[in-house]
Amino acid sequence: MGLYKQMHELSIAKNIFDIVLKTAKENNAEKVTKISLKIGEFTSVSDYALKSSLEMISKDTIIENAEINIKKIPIAIRCLKCRTESILEEYIFFCPICESVKIELI
C-alpha cells in the first residue's frame, strides 16, 4: 500500500476520531466500545488501513480498543433514460439494462 493511500485513510480516521471523541464527551461517556461506520464503495477506502489508523490514533484515549465495524455501501445509480435503479458491481458507469451512459448516482 502506497504512502498516499495510507495518508488518505489516516486523514479520514482522524476526522472520525474527532467526531467520536466529541460525541462521547457531549454524552459524558467514559468509554467507547464500538464504532459503526457506513462507507461507500466509491470512496475506495481500505477497511484494513482505516481500522489500523483508528487504532493507532485512539491509543491511550477513551476510544482505545473500541470494536470497529465497517459496512460498505454499494454504488447505486438511476438511469435517466429508462429510469431503472441498479447497483453497480464494477466502476463501469452505464445502465446495465439499456446501456445508456446518462445516469445519476443515488
Q: Which long-range contacts (CB under 8 A, 24 or more apart) does 36-43 make?
A: 36/69, 36/71, 37/68, 37/69, 37/70, 37/71, 38/70, 38/71, 38/73, 39/70, 39/71, 39/72, 39/73, 40/72, 40/73, 40/75, 41/72, 41/73, 41/74, 41/75, 42/75, 42/105
For the stretch 22-77, pLDDT in tens is: 999 999 999 999 999 999 887 878 899 999 999 999 999 999 999 999 999 888 99
What pLDDT does residue 5 have? 53
What pLDDT does residue 3 have? 46
